[in-house]
Amino acid sequence: NAGVTQTPKFQVLKTGQSMTLQCAQDMNHEYMSWYRQDPGMGLRLIHYSVGAGITDQGEVPNGYNVSRSTTEDFPLRLLSAAPSQTSVYFCASSYSAGNGYTFGSGTRLTVV
Amino acid sequence: AQSVTQPDIHITVSEGASLELRCNYSYGATPYLFWYVQSPGQGLQLLLKYFSGDTLVQGIKGFEAEFKRSQSSFNLRKPSVHWSDAAEYFCAVMLTGANNLFFGTGTRLTVIP
């Protein structure tokens, strides 16, 4: 059971480049979320989904897009990378809202 | 404003000593409450959660937490810390009827031999 898988683990982008962070879970979880973690700020919610075809914005959605075409996958797209998007990104999934989320191991992104 | 506060940025304890990490929340109603642990370079692992009922909750790795409604607190405790407990600990809340976690800023735990 792989749980929540994030790829890549590390990425360096130049300002203005676009890329997609991949997230896949094999637990048939309906709820999936993307967070970014910055020093001294904890984790902040970027986007979330409550099921295939349904997404919504979190606390810090600007500069990011998501889609959820299948239950398993929830990719996060950076449209035009900026240095302010340098962060560690975590994907998480849950069977139900109050069940507690399972986190992936993260993607460390640096934008230069 | 709604918030989750972890007042201690960094705590150092000796191996074998007891531990208490503080968490306070500010919401209109009692939310669901969680504690997560993050080892260096790793994702977050759920230690325990509180929804309702018994206010003392047992979790994994020998941790427990006590919900105190009057103090809007959900402090994490361990009677005897092991060197492997060195990590960062995050308190998180989920509003009832919502789907997402809101995190505190974390407390980094250092364990000295």
Instruction: Give pLDDT tens digits for A13-48.
Output: 999 999 999 999 999 999 999 999 998 888 999 999
| Per-residue confidence (pLDDT) for residue B88, from 0 to 100 | 96
Compute CA B21 distance to the chain's CA centroid, rounded to the nearest angstrom: 6
**Percent of chain B's residues with pLDDT above 90:** 77
CA–CA separation, B102 vs B39, rounded Å? 19
Judged by CB atoms closer than 8 Å, whether chains meet at B105 and A45 is answered as no
Write the pLDDT tens digit of every residue in B36-95. 999 988 889 999 999 888 899 999 999 999 999 999 999 999 999 999 999 999 999 988
Query: What is the CB neighbour count within 10 angstroms for residue A75?
Result: 16
DSSP string, B57-100: EE-GGG-EEEEEGGGTEEEEEESS--GGG-EEEEEEEE-TT---
Judged by CB atoms closer than 8 Å, whether chains meet at A31 and B99 is answered as yes
Return the residue matching tokens 């998501």: A66
- Judge whether residue B2 has pLDDT over 80: no
| Per-residue confidence (pLDDT) for residue B108, from 0 to 100 | 96
Write the single-letter amino acid at B109: L
Burial category of B91 from C-beta neighbours within 10 Å (exposed 0-12, middle 13-18, buried 19 and up)? buried
* Overall average pLDDT of the A68-97 stretch: 95
Judged by CB atoms closer than 8 Å, whether chains meet at B106 and A33 is answered as no
DSSP state for residue A83 in the 8-state scheme: G
A104 to chain B: closest CA residue: B43
- Judge whether residue A53 has pLDDT over 80: yes
* Overall average pLDDT of the A55-73 stretch: 96
CA–CA separation, A74 vs A32, rounded Å? 7
Residues making up chain B, counted from first to last: 113
CA–CA separation, B63 vs A16, rounded Å? 45
Judged by CB atoms closer than 8 Å, whether chains meet at B43 and A104 is answered as yes
- Judge whether residue A1 has pLDDT over 70: no
B40 touches chain A (CB under 8 A): no
Question: Quick one: pLDDT band at residue B1, thresholds 50, 70, 90?
Answer: low
| Per-residue confidence (pLDDT) for residue B90, from 0 to 100 | 96
Give the gap in angstroms from C-alpha B70 to the nearest C-alpha of chain A.
22
Beta strand residue intervals within A4-106, DSSP E:
4-7, 10-13, 19-25, 31-37, 43-51, 54-57, 64-66, 76-78, 87-94, 102-103
| Per-residue confidence (pLDDT) for residue A2, from 0 to 100 | 75
| Per-residue confidence (pLDDT) for residue B16, from 0 to 100 | 97
